[in-house]
Structure 1
Amino acid sequence: MSFRFKPLKSWSLRAKILLIFLLLISIPLSLQGVATYVDFSSSIERRTSDYTAQLVDQINRNLDRTLMEMQRLTLMPVYDSGVLSILRKYRGEDSLHQQPTVEERSKMQLYIASMTFDRPEIDSIQIFAGNGYTFSSLAPSAIAAYTDVERQPWYSRVEEARGAWVLLPPHRPSYYLDGNQSYFSVARLIREPNTNRTLGLVKIDLKQTLFKQLVDNARMEENGGIVVQNSREELFYTAPAEKDTETSKLLPDRIRELSGRSETASQLLKMEGNEYLVVSNYSKYSDINIVSYIPVASLLVETKELRNFTLLAGMVCLALAGAFATYFSYRLTKPLGTLVRKMRLVELGDFKQSVPAVTEDEIGRLGSGFNRMVEEIDRLVHEVYVLGMREKEAELAALQSQIHPHFIYNTLESISMLARQHGNEDVSEMTTALGRLIRSAVEQDQSLIRLGEELETAESYIHIQKMRHGSRLRAMFDIEEGLDDFLVPKLLLQPLIENAIMHGIGDREQGGTVYVTAARFEDEVLLTIGDDGRGMSEEELAALRGLLEEAGAAAAKMPATPLHGHGVALKNIKQRLLLIYGSDCDFEIDGSLGQGTAFTITLPFVTQKEQEVGIG
């Protein structure tokens, strides 16, 4: 028996609803579980990395402080005249195997003992004379009296430093009679202050337990380990976690790229099939790189528990959701199935069908609506027909009520011709100018027009005003050559000219002059509209400037000081400029009482061609 999978479009509504329910529950649940697990895992790794970086940095800082103290101790003999005098005496070959006096040995032993006082990290301090005699903080029975220092494997590194301090990796000094212990050391040549001639060598042997104390104080991760080495890949200390000794052996080879690369670095490394979070900290002072490694598996123990819990909870929720979805999909689709059967009968022309309204939800209301629809279908068809006729009549009435702008122009032109026939040239000119104004306001559908066109509109308005004011009104235009194609907002100049005439010149007996200037300065154009009228007081000017500052805000407030009609038009102009140009424009006002008022607008220079190619 073969099973055929039906295409989705042939599924029943119940099956589709069941599938949707399961998907809507399982997908978010799965995504949430995965996102929670990933985010929690990343958070633990990140916090552990940051915390470990702080710990290894603190360990390195503490180690640097200890080594600074040690290198300071190695400087003490260099500046002690008593020590230098003894070392001079036993420097040459003529003093070979010559033993210092009891007084000299006692003096040197007391001096070295003072260097080791209250410093438990120091195992011993040796000062080697030129003839090989060893002055030590240890008892004579614990150390060889003479040591051929130059034959020691570490001597060449101290000699290359030429008097600077050197940190030596762990080694087993041959001058100890019991040579089983390993130490790391700080050493320095003792040289004549004036001639730099080598007199001897001071060497401080430090206990290996120093690193263990530093690590224990830092409270590192229990499951992790730590490796201390220098840029020469010489191992100073290692503290592997339990059962992880193989990893501690492999790790120094894997962290070569981390050594000396930066003060702090972290990355994930795979070793022996396991992944480790490796955090290193490098000290330029000591050339020591401290590396901490933690198994990622130990970090993710909590996340695995969270994953298992989330998986179990998701499966339980999915099972419950499937049961509920099956039940509710059946309850939901049963009335719909009845409704579908009734609709098929209605399609055949049987309008006597009805469905029982068992529920009061949307499906129940759908059944009730179906019943009403069947009963009133004839009336609804009739109403749709009547409404369609009325809609067409309304559209026709709207079309008939629209007056084309050309009707206004033609009417004004007829008035102008009639006035000219009766010899009334003033009325004819005013009507013609008004027609140009209306044409400019109606026909230009773009927000920016040429300055030349805007000036024509302004001149038409001034011409109309001159019909009223006569010779009392004078106008002066000073436009820099080449600015006719400069784009400006439509109806920018006319409101300002109107403001100058109405509030600047007004009904003054002597009249006044309105001047309009335009000048280009590099990539900007300055437009100035002013008058020599009554001007404004300081209070009015301050209030008007305050209004212009607020014009760009979403809720501009009107100023408390009266503005005598200035405010609304100027505020609208400022808001239009901000909408078109943003912060690339400026709108300023200046003036004084009796000296007139001037409005200055600064706009970016943009022409029609530049706007078409996208410069504007």
Structure 2
Amino acid sequence: MFKFNFYTKILSIIIVLLIPVLILYVYSNQTTTGVLREELNQSNYNQLTFFQNQVNTNIEMISSWPHLLIHDPDVASFQAIFLKDKVLNLDGINLVKRIQTKLGLQESSSNWRTGLSIYSPSLGRVVSENGAGLYDQKKLNQLIKDGWQVSKKRSYGKDQFIFSLYTLSPFSSLGNPETANTIIKVEFDSSNIQDMLDRFKGDGRKEPFYYKKGVGVIYNRTANEELSGNLISKLEKMGLHEVDNLTVKIGEESYLVHAVLSQTTGWYLIDYMPLSDMMSPIYSSNRLFYITVVGSLLVGLIGAYLLHSQVQVPILQLVQAFRRLKDGDYAVRLSVRGSHEFAFLSSQFNLMVEQIQELFEKVYVEQLHVKEARLKQLQSQINPHFFYNCFSFITSMAKLRNHEAVVAMAHNLSRYYRYTTRQERDLVPLSEEVEFVQYYLNIQQMRMPRLTFSIVMSSQASSLLIPPLVVQPLVENAVLHGIEPQAEDGIIHILTERVGSYMYLIVDDNGLGLSREAITSLTSTLDKPVEEDHGYGLWNVHQRIRLHFGEDAGLEFSLSPLGGLRAVLKWSLSTEGEHANGLIEPSPNSNIVKTEGPDGSDITSR
């Protein structure tokens, strides 16, 4: 259950004082943000409307050109000419040149790139600034419609729109263009609008474009077309009105969108900009305020801490130290600061704990001495039971004058005996232990030629340190109780294997083996006090491994794949275990597989 101590009370007061300030600021910030949005919307609407009016003014001015040209005397004379042949006379050619000059002057009166063409149904000819020629009346009739017409074409890999307006004289002939005296076409392309969009973009934050559903989009030349396309998809789902101010979210970014409909062309002028760009000053102000609040809170916390640390902290430290001491942590100490009453209590507490720790350390050292004496006793219990049999073998071979056998037995026996009698180290490399086992197996192989063995040891395993004389009893048990009682050929296989953070040394034989019940019984005796009828060898190995590597280590038994018994020596390779092992550099003969046959020959491979 949460308790209000001195420190938490002061902290609660500071927080309560800051809460009204935060609420007031949040309310003020929301109000400011709302006003700013309204002002931005109105400002953007005014800019879009002004730009839209500029575009409409240009289009309306271009729309008025045909009406001016219809009343021009030269154009009126051109529509009154009726020719029986297809060749103009000199007067007609001069008239066409004057009309072309006037068309050029009219086009140059605007800064937009436009085109004017005059069609004469009576002559079947069309005149433009660039030339004159014949035209197909049927195709022209299909193109003539009321108002501005928009067609799309591809130019340099992008869409371009052509705006065309046809004016007929008389106006009543719109439904039947063949009866018209004169047809005037004015057109311009969307590059003119793009020029204005580029100028309107100005500071680079705006992204204006024109859009008409079912027709297409006119982008500014530096527009992000992919983003604009995503925005159009959102707007089509939401629906557009004549004037719209919307906030649209695309991905993780929100955009402020403004749209104005042109009554002249029916296209929407749409402009958008990231909301974060406009709100960045407010966000900066918010960050500054929050930093100020956090700074004020920190100052309050420091003040509360200074008060809290002078009284409550020393008491809490003393209480916690007593609890740790109660739980058995005798390394606990209090920091002595200053010369006040709590410093005196801390020093006296430390003195008391030191005296208790010294007493426990003395007891612990005595326990270690007892443990080491027990380890030496266990190690000394391992004796070579076959020693006298070896001398008997030497005697027999000497009588038979088999000197090579005598020399081989003496060599292996001397190496074997040297290892057992000069073992003063607590830990030895596993490679030396396995080499000692090899001498033992060589001796047994001389006594029993039907015995074969193989040793497979990894480079990592060969460098590990283990207690001496822990592998030989396992091999001896396999020879004496597994292979020697039977008449068939005997096989012993020794290998190391790492599984996770554990190392396993496995001894397999094809001897008589044990039943599952006998294996269970044998395993259970390893953790019990030693009994004389069970012998010391395996029990000794199990206890010594556990003394060195902890409760997880030890000796295990199971059925061997070779048909006999499998003995497994297991110990941990964890950080503590590796420190205890004292890993050494691998020897050059590491990762060796060695097999010896019945004749004593060595087969060695890497």
Indicate the TM-score class for this superposition, using the shorter chain for normalisation.
0.3 to 0.5
Query: Which has the greater radius of gyration?
Result: 2
Q: TM-score, normalised by structure 2?
A: 0.43
Q: TM-score, normalised by structure 1?
A: 0.43
